[in-house]
Structure 1
Amino acid sequence: MIREDGEVTASGKETAVYAAGGVVWRRVDGKLRVLIIHRTKYRDLTLPKGKVDPGETLAETAVREIREETGIRVALGVPVGVSRYRMPNSRTKIVHYWAAEATDAAVRTSSFVPNKEVAAIEWMSLKKARKHLSYPVDIEILDEFTRIVEEDALPTFPIVVLRHGKALSRDDWDGADGARPLTPRGRRQAASIVGPLLAFGVRRVYSSPAERCVRTATPIAQALGQRLHLCPEISQDAWEDGRADARTVVGQRVRARKPVVLTSHGPVLPDILHELALATGTMSGSYLGSASALSPGAFSVVHVPVEHPGAGIVAIETHEPRV
C-alpha cells in the first residue's frame, strides 16, 4: 500500500516520501515572474515544496507549504509535473507540483520573514530562474510551466466535477431514489474533500437536488460561506427520464469563468465531461472517460484558460477520497 506521508506500511517496508509544491507566478508590469526560495540550511535555490503531513492530500500540502515557505496564500492552478529523485538515505522522494498564481493582494499581505529554513525569496524571470535553480529536477518542472506559458494558457480557472459520497444502496432503501441518504462513510467523504477543494480555490458550489448530492456538497458550501445552488438539470432522475441538460449548466459555468464545483451522479458525469469538452473546443478522447469514471466521493478538476476558454482544456486531474 502506498501512503502519501511516506511512512512504513503494514508490510514493514518503507514507501517513497511524498511531497508537493508549486511554481508560484505573477505578472509585474506585464512581465511574468516566478518565485524562487533561497534555503538557509542547504544554501540552494529551489521551488517551494514540502513533505505531506499525516492526513493531508497532495493538493493541501502544496498550498500549505507554499504559504509556510513564502508567506503567500495561493490557490492551485494546472499541474506542472512530478519530480522523482533519490535522497541521501536511499529513499525515493516524489514531489507533485502545480502552477499557482500569486495575486497582488496575496503578495501585499505576505507574512514572509527570513527564518531558519528560508533565508530569502526572489521573483525571477523564467530565463533567470532556469539559470539559477540548483537542481535539474526543478528545471524540468520549470520547463513544463514555461511550455504552458508559451501556449498562452495562464491563468486558468477550475471546474470541479464531483461525484456524491457513498450512499445507501437502492436495495436497502424503500423511499424515493432522490431521498436516498449518504452512509456514515459517505458523510466522512463529504467532510474530507473540503480541504482539497479549497486548495483549488473554488468559490461556488452547484449540486443535483438529490439528498446524497446535497449532503456531499453542503460541507464545502458551508466552508465557503456560500449558499448551495441546486441544479435539477444534472440530477439522476432527470437523466433517467431524458430531461437532463448538462449542456446548459456547463455552458453557464464556462461563460462565468469562475472556480466552481458541480456535484452529480455516476451516470451523469460522462455527459458533464463531454459537454465541458464541447464548450471549450477540446478534442474528445479516452481521457474524458477516465475523468468521469469516478468512485463515490472522488472529483476531477478541469482546468480551463480564463482568457481563451475556447482554446481547449489545459489539464484534467482526478482525486480520490481519503476515506
Structure 2
Amino acid sequence: MSDTAVYAAGAVVWRLIDDKLRVLLIHRTKYRDVTLPKGKVDPGEMLAQTAVREVREETGIRVTLGAPVGISRYWMRPKRQKVVHYWAAEATDDAIRASTFVPNGEIAAIEWVSLKKARKRLSYPVDVEIVEAFARLVDDGVLHTFPLVVLRHGKAVGRADWDGEDAARPLTERGLRQAKAITAPLRAFGVRRIVTSDAVRCVQTVAPLEKKLGRTAKQTRKISQQAWEDDTADIRSVIGRRIRSRKPAVLCSHGPVLPAIVSEIALATGTLHGSYVDSAGALEVGGFSVVHLSATNPGSGIISIETHEPKI
C-alpha cells in the first residue's frame, strides 16, 4: 500500500427479490449523491474487514464477502489518491430482517434497484465501472460462490531456537498477535469450517478463530509439514472433501505445503495452472489467500484468487 493514498473498501450488496436480482444503493445526506456502500480503513484493519464493517454501519446489513469485483481509484484534494476495494456480497433474508437501518445524518436512504437502474442512478462513473464488473459475474453464472481460504500459520519460534520436535514449535508473541488480527478478516468471508495441520504453530494460529466461531478445528497430519517432508501428506483427500461440501472453510498449513494446496484446488476444479496459482501459495507468515469457487458448479474452475498479507 502507498503511504500517500487513502484506502477504503466496500461492496456491491445484492439479493434476489421474486427471483429478480437487485443491488443496494445508498443516498448520502451530506454529499447529496447516490453511491455504493464503502468507507475508509480504520487503523489496524485489513480491507475485507473494512468492507463488512462499512456495509453494516451504513446500511445496517451484516454481510459476508463473495468474489472481488474491482478496485476504483480517483483523486482527492489535495493531490491524494483514494483506492477503494470492492466485493460482491449477498444480503440474506435473515440479514435484511435483522437490519436496524433508519435515515440518519450520514445516509438519507437506501434502495434496492436493478442493475439497469443502478447504472443510471449512481452519481460517479467509477461506481458504474464496479457495477459493470459485478454484472460480468452475473452474466457468467458465477455470482453464487464459496471461499476456500489457504492460511499460513503465524510467526513461530525459529528452528535454531527450539530444542524439541519441529511440530511442537509454538508461536512467538508476534505470531499470537497475528492470529488475533486475522480473525475478523477471515470471518468477513463467512468462514465456518476450520481445518488445520496438527503442528502447534498452526493450532495456535486458528485458536482465536475457533473461539469467535464457537467451533472446533479439525486437526490433521494430512496437511502438516512433517507429512509433506516424509511424503505421507494427503492433500487431495482434504481438498476434495472441502470442495464437495461447498462450505466456506479455512485451511491452515505451512509455507512449503501451501503451493501444493492451492495447486490441488486448481486441479480439482479444472482450472488451468498459471502464475497466479503459484503466487497465491507464496505467503508470508500470518498471510492468507482466498480462493473463490462457484457454489453451483465448483468444477467450473477458480472464479478468482485474492491474497491478504499480514499487517503485523
Q: TM-score, normalised on structure 2? A: 0.98
Q: Which amino acid aligns with 1:2?
A: S
Partner residue of 1:11?
A: none
Q: Distance in 1 between matches of 2:269 and 2:101?
A: 38
Partner residue of 2:157?
A: 168
Q: Distance in 1 between matches of 2:206 and 2:99?
A: 31
- Which ranges of structure 2 fall in alignment gaps of 5 or more residues? none
Q: Which amino acid aligns with 1:218?
A: A
Q: Does 1:147 align with 2:132?
A: no
Q: Does 1:200 align with 2:189?
A: yes
Q: Distance in 1 between matches of 2:220 and 2:143?
A: 29
Q: Which amino acid aligns with 1:63?
A: V
**Overall identity of the aligned pairs, in %:** 66
Structure 1 residue 276 displacement after superposition: 0.2
Structure 1 residue 88 displacement after superposition: 3.6
Partner residue of 1:68?
A: 57
Structure 1 residue 281 displacement after superposition: 1.2
Q: Which amino acid aligns with 2:269?
A: T
Q: Which runs of 4+ in 1 moved over 6 A?
A: none
Structure 1 residue 315 displacement after superposition: 0.6
Match of 1:247 among 230, 236, 252: 236
Q: Which amino acid aligns with 1:258?
A: K
Structure 1 residue 269 displacement after superposition: 0.6
Structure 1 residue 183 displacement after superposition: 1.2
Q: CA RMSD in A?
A: 1.0
- CA deviation vs aligned residue, 1:55-75 (integer Å, no higher than 9, x gap): 211111110110111110000
Q: Which amino acid aligns with 1:199?
A: A
- CA deviation vs aligned residue, 1:235-277 (integer Å, no higher than 9, x gap): 1111111110110000000000111010001111111011100
Q: Which amino acid aligns with 1:81?
A: G
Match of 2:170 among 154, 161, 181: 181
Q: Does 1:273 align with 2:253?
A: no
> 1:89-100 counterparts in 2 under 5 A?
89-100=78-89
Match of 2:38 among 45, 49, 55: 49
Partner residue of 1:158?
A: 147
Indicate the SS of the match to 2:302: coil
Are 1:204 and 1:221, in contact at CA under 8 Å, matched by a contact in 2?
no
Q: Which amino acid aligns with 1:213?
A: C
Q: Does 1:111 align with 2:100?
A: yes
- CA deviation vs aligned residue, 1:19-45 (integer Å, no higher than 9, x gap): 110000011111110000111111111
Q: Distance in 2 between matches of 1:309 and 1:102?
A: 22
Are 1:303 and 1:314, in contact at CA under 8 Å, matched by a contact in 2?
yes
Q: Which amino acid aligns with 2:115?
A: L
Q: Does 1:257 align with 2:216?
A: no
Q: Distance in 2 between matches of 1:182 and 1:241?
A: 23
Partner residue of 1:209?
A: 198
- CA deviation vs aligned residue, 1:191-222 (integer Å, no higher than 9, x gap): 11111111111001110000111011111111
> 1:8-47 counterparts in 2 under 5 A?
15-47=4-36
Partner residue of 2:2?
A: 2
Q: Distance in 1 between matches of 2:97 and 2:180?
A: 32
Partner residue of 1:237?
A: 226
Q: Which amino acid aligns with 2:184?
A: G
Number of equivalences? 312
- Which ranges of structure 1 fall in alignment gaps of 5 or more residues? 4-14
Q: Distance in 1 between matches of 2:263 and 2:42?
A: 36
Q: Which amino acid aligns with 2:132?
A: D
